Amino acid sequence: MISRFNVRSAALTLVAPVLAIVLAVGITTVVLLVSGDEPLETFGYMVDYGFQPRTMVLTLNLATTYYFSALAVAIGFRMNLFNIGVDGQYRLAALIAAAVGGAVTLPAPLHVTLTVLVAVLVGACWAGLAGLLKATRGVSEVISTIMLNVIATGLGAWLLHTDRLAVAVSGSNNIGTKPIGPSGQVPGLHLIAGTEVKVYGFVVVAALAGIGFHFMLNSTRFGFDLRATGRSESAAVASGVNVKKMIVGTMVLSGAVAGLVGMPQLLGASYSYSLDFPTGLGFTGIAIALLGRNNPLGIAFGALLWSFLTNSASILDVHQISKEIVIIMQGVIVLSVVVAYELVRRYRKSAEQRRVGQELAATAEPVKG
Amino acid sequence: MRRDQFLRLAAVVLAGALATSACGGAENTDSAKGDPSQPAKPQGAKIGLAYDIGGRGDQSFNDAAARGLDQAKTEFGATANELEASPGETEAQKEERLRLLATGGFNPVIAVGFAYSKPVAKVAQEFPNVKFALVDDEAAKGPNISNLLFAEHEGSFLVGAAAALKSKKNSIGFVGGVQVPLIAKFEAGFAAGAKHIKPDIKIQTKYLTQPPDFSGFNDPAKGKTAAEGMFDGGADVVYQAAGGSGGGVFTAAKAANAFAIGVDSDQALTADASVKDVIITSMLKKVDVAVYTFLKGFASNSVTAGSTIYDLKVGGVDYSVTGGKVDDIKAQLDELKQKIISGEIKVPDKTTG
């Protein structure tokens, strides 16, 4: 009886994401039909392209970046803190880390460690500001992190100037920080056969961060306090949790992970922070955290799916199908996930009520058994 | 039958709505649909064109490239596939865009904007038989890369001089889209030109956004506010190098009964009819000519690798006279133009301080 129930419970956990994807595919099909493109053909192109070895590497690489971002957001979410500032945190962190990494030459492991450490520190400090404001002055972190994003943009633009952290690339209209030397670069890995392109070495760090997140949440005092505060602040206070300390701590941790967002790109591909450094990753992270239900494994799947969709936009463009279809799909998936989980939750609740009712009825009539 | 008609109508309406909301993303359907590896038309080249953010329909930089492409398409019977960058994307995505064009059999491939520098350098190496053109960047070098560059500061010098000559209040303004070195070239030339005429002229400068926020190239409301501030502050001629935000500058000039100077295209022709009369001249950056010339060279098999600089001498940059508002000072401007061409006047391409 109990094992059967567990199987059903596990199946129910899977139902929600599957339902969400089915919904998303359904709605996208309608949009494609309406815009006059052949849905089957379109999905065919996407899948075809998505499973080429080259594309698989690109998907994995982009997903690594997304993963850090979503993890940073999820840490906050677990405590009911909405860190919208991941975007500003990672941009500022990447810029300053790039400048430091480009300015020094050290033995390889030290060089990389130093750069990453700077990024983590900058991210943590920038997010910590929002945490402090909330803990001491009661400022909503939603407002303060949005504002800190804008300040990060201004500060970044000021720093990325040839008088300060940037150098001009000769013959180019681009400017960037001094390129990080070979000792500071993280080599790629040959994980997927059939292509020359390498997977970012940071994929390992991402996996470790995910495991660390799981361990932190489930096996440490900090993680317990974090979850408790997220569930009910008053209950947490009653059981002796220092909520103010938790707010600052959680924001700092969230920001520290946000500092890692730019690292795969910086240390694995561009080696410099220039005008065309990718932006907006922090907002993508919010969507993926929602998609993965703030669970490290769920986020991994979410990041891979999101990255696959983003990359497949290129092939749609080549086939003259509006690549905005992909953005519609991503949006619909997030919405469907929210809806699907709510449906499953309600179903679970009523199933539970029925089961308890049945069991009670069974114990009330012992004579028949 | 009736249902079919309804469906078709619904499709048209929705597709229209999508096209407008997707910034013209659905407009480039004029080339062959389907598998890009199959030649759609036997004659002519298959041209691949990768735009920067904004793509066809930005009424500015990308559109200029599109004009050159369209001209070549009709003239040489070529087909084209036009792809567009997404905001905030990574270099890997730009690289993949170029690679997909090259593997799809497109040759030549044109990349518009300096952000394509590293991707072009990399992909051109992988496809030695494909010719690449790169607009606004010469850092990427290769035997199959043609770099198309512009002397924006020289053209801006002339419109700067025009602004100074036309200003009655001895006060002018410059609105830049995004604070990047490329736009600083416009500013430097403009300021030098104005000061050449009136050394004591007051110049207000404002950039709409700072990187990585590139919305300043596509936000007319910001352009309007910035220009309003300048007109309130005493300026009576404002030069804009702000791409799609420029329309707002024109609106503000119209309201303030002042003058504006356009950029990239001859905006006295391309701008909204209600504001055309405030545009005294435009700094022409002839991306269309550069793209067309490159494609023409490709058609006649005479493409040269390396940098081609489109400056005043070859007419790659210039000032426009549409509307006749600078006819009275044309002689002076042309004299300055000759002095720049002969090297007598050196125009700075960087702002000081």
| Domains with residue ranges and CATH for chain A | 63-307 (1.10.3470)
ipTM of model: 0.85
Residues 6+ apart with CB under 8 A from A164: A158
pLDDT score for B28: 38
Q: Is the pLDDT of residue B98 over 90?
A: yes
* Model confidence pLDDT, tens digit, residues A331-344: 998 888 888 888 88
CB nearest to B88's CB, from A35, A279, A320: A279
For residue B327, the 8-state DSSP code is G
Q: Is the pLDDT of residue B166 over 90?
A: yes
Mean pLDDT value across residues B228-253: 94
Of A61, A122, A123, A115, nearest in space to A86 by CA = A123
pLDDT score for B31: 39
Other Cβ atoms within 10 Å of A295 Cβ, number: 17
pLDDT score for B4: 46
* pLDDT level of residue A170 (50, 70, 90 thresholds): confident
Sheet with B237-241, side-by-side order of all strands = B202-209, B171-178, B237-241, B259-264, B279-285, B317-319
In words, the CATH class of domain B153-285+323-342 is alpha beta
Distance CA A271, CA A265 (A): 8
Same fold, B36-150+288-310 and B153-285+323-342: yes
Distance CA A238, CA B260 (A): 66
Q: Classify A265 as helix, strand or coil.
A: helix
Q: Classify B316 as helix, strand or coil.
A: coil
* Model confidence pLDDT, tens digit, residues A32-78: 999 888 999 999 999 999 999 999 999 999 999 999 999 999 999 99
Q: Is the pLDDT of residue A151 over 90?
A: yes
Question: What residue ranges do the domains of chain B occupy?
Answer: 36-150+288-310, 153-285+323-342
The single-letter code of the amino acid at A155 is: L
Contacts of B103 in chain A (CB under 8 A): none
> Out of 3.30.420.40, 3.50.50.60, 3.40.50.2300, 3.40.640.10, which CATH number does the structure's domain B36-150+288-310 have?
3.40.50.2300
Q: Is the pLDDT of residue B18 over 70?
A: no
* Model confidence pLDDT, tens digit, residues A211-265: 999 999 999 999 999 999 999 999 999 999 999 999 999 999 999 999 999 999 9
* Model confidence pLDDT, tens digit, residues A285-295: 999 999 898 99
* pLDDT level of residue B23 (50, 70, 90 thresholds): very low
pTM: 0.85
Mean pLDDT value across residues B10-18: 41
pLDDT score for B195: 96
Distance CA B131, CA B110 (A): 8
Contacts of B89 in chain A (CB under 8 A): 278
**For helices A39-50 and A53-78, what crossing angle results, to 10°?**
90
CB of B17 less than 8 A from some CB of A: no
8 Å CB contact between A87 and A281: yes
Mean pLDDT value across residues A145-169: 91
CB of B84 less than 8 A from some CB of A: yes
Of B248, B289, B288, nearest in space to B271 by CA = B248
CB of A155 less than 8 A from some CB of B: no
Distance CA B161, CA B194 (A): 4
Q: Is the pLDDT of residue A306 over 60?
A: yes
In degrees and rounded to multiples of 5, residue A246 shows phi and psi of -65, -40
pLDDT score for B275: 93
Q: Is the pLDDT of residue A2 over 80?
A: no
CB of B34 less than 8 A from some CB of A: yes
Average the pLDDT over each of A21-25, A307-311, B232-236 and give the range with the smallest value: A21-25
Run of H or E including A2: helix A2-34
pLDDT score for B30: 38
Of B193, B151, B156, nearest in space to B315 by CA = B151
Mean pLDDT value across residues B178-194: 94
Contacts of B53 in chain A (CB under 8 A): none
Q: Is the pLDDT of residue B32 over 60?
A: no
The Cα of A56 is separated from the nearest Cα of chain B by a number of Å equal to 12
Q: Is the pLDDT of residue B27 over 50?
A: no
CB of B81 less than 8 A from some CB of A: yes
